[in-house]
Copies of this chain bind each other. A is one copy, B any other.
Amino acid sequence: VAGSQQSGTADPPFRTIAIVGVGLIGGSIGLAARARWPEVTVIGVDRREVLREAVSFGAIAEPGDLGTAARADLVMLAAPVAQNVALLDELAAHVAPTSVVTDVGSTKRTIAAAARTKPGLAFVGGHPLAGAAVSGVGAARGQLFRGRPWILTPDAGCEREIVTRLTRFVQGLGAVPEVLDPDRHDRLVAFVSHLPQLVASGLLHTIGEAVGEAGLALSGPGLADTTRLASSPADVWTEIFQSNADYVEAAIDELMALLGDTKARLHSSEHVTTVFESAARWRRALRHIGEGRADARTD
């Protein structure tokens, strides 16, 4: 501790961290937090063989259980969406009054609503917009959040000090914190994450069934790019869609309206040009954002 203070780094916002669910995201949080604040104790809660691997990787310092997790300064729920809600229920009665609880789930309204039923629980949801094609603690890396957005979704009545500490924490992991309320978060990810995933899988399913393997053999790199997400595991996504069904339905409706309109006007150069030019403009915006992030990473 003395060493890190001498070198000018700030005190860690949390001294003990319990990570419940040590997969790709949980493991990467452990690696990043321990690299940033060596004095912090990181406890992991998961199946025994996962914890053994996590300790050997240095992602956690020691294995724990929900009892030890409840006494940590920060409890980080990093299991799949529905399981995080169940864990919150289980932990709420035992968690120390000074503990802050957060999660990393892809949807935020359900867990925020569950937390609201537990007065006195210092909960602020979170969602790091980082991931990889692979999963499991074996794929964890401390750089995963570097330059990536990490959305925090405090309720209106939340203590500012808790948001401030969480903000410092995710900045320490290299992420760029953003604050959104749970409802706006869920609408946003329905469009920028859930709809593209659904379309990539639905598109490749449709094409594969229509043309078979011999037809796919005559496809180009464009199809491969467009359907890269189609290798995503179903189990993670069934939970995400269920916990965000209304906004995902609305996003599907918008896309279907556009596709139906385009189908009816395929012979209209004007219509097709309008859609393609709009898409190309948004694509340039997306590229600028990506370049901005790459710049931030080299700082």
Q: What string of 1s and 0s marks CB contacts (under 8 Å) between A221-236 and chain B?
A: 1111111111111110
A169 CB-CB contact with B under 8 Å: no
CA distance A193 to B223 in the complex (A): 7
CA distance A132 to B148 in the complex (A): 29
Contact B205 A192 (CB under 8 A): no
A6 CB-CB contact with B under 8 Å: no
Contacts of A191 in B (CB 8 A): 206-207, 210-211, 215
A86 CB-CB contact with B under 8 Å: no
Contacts of A253 in B (CB 8 A): 263
A93 CB-CB contact with B under 8 Å: no
Contact B223 A225 (CB under 8 A): no
Contact A258 B192 (CB under 8 A): no
- Partner pick for A272 among B220, B222, B237, B255, CB 8 A cutoff: B237
Contact B149 A217 (CB under 8 A): yes
As for how many copies of this chain the complex holds, the number is 2
**Chain A, range 262-285, C-beta contacts under 8 Å to B:** 262-263, 266-267, 269, 272-273, 275-285
Contacts of A215 in B (CB 8 A): 188, 191-192
> Taking chain A's interface residues, is the majority helix, strand, or loop, or is none over half, making it mixed?
helix
Interface size class of A (residues with CB under 8 A): 35 or more
CA distance A192 to B276 in the complex (A): 18
Known: A217-B149, A237-B272, A272-B234. A192 touches B282 (CB 8 A): no
Known: A245-B267, A253-B263, A285-B208. A229 touches B238 (CB 8 A): no
Contact B131 A220 (CB under 8 A): yes
Known: A226-B229, A272-B237. A192 touches B216 (CB 8 A): yes
Contacts of A3 in B (CB 8 A): none
A96 CB-CB contact with B under 8 Å: no
Contact B223 A226 (CB under 8 A): no
Contacts of A226 in B (CB 8 A): 196, 199-200, 225-229
A residues contacting B by CB (< 8 A) are 129-131, 148-149, 151, 178, 188-189, 191-193, 195-211, 213, 215-235, 237-238, 241-242, 245, 248-249, 251-256, 258-260, 262-263, 266-267, 269, 272-273, 275-286, 289-290
> Which 5 residue pairs across A and B have the least CB separation, nearest first?
A208-B282, A234-B276, A201-B279, A192-B219, A230-B279
Given A193-B223, A206-B251, A219-B289, 14 more A-B residue pairs with CB atoms under 8 Å apart are A131-B222, A192-B218, A192-B219, A202-B255, A202-B258, A203-B255, A204-B282, A208-B279, A222-B228, A224-B290, A231-B280, A237-B272, A255-B259, A259-B259
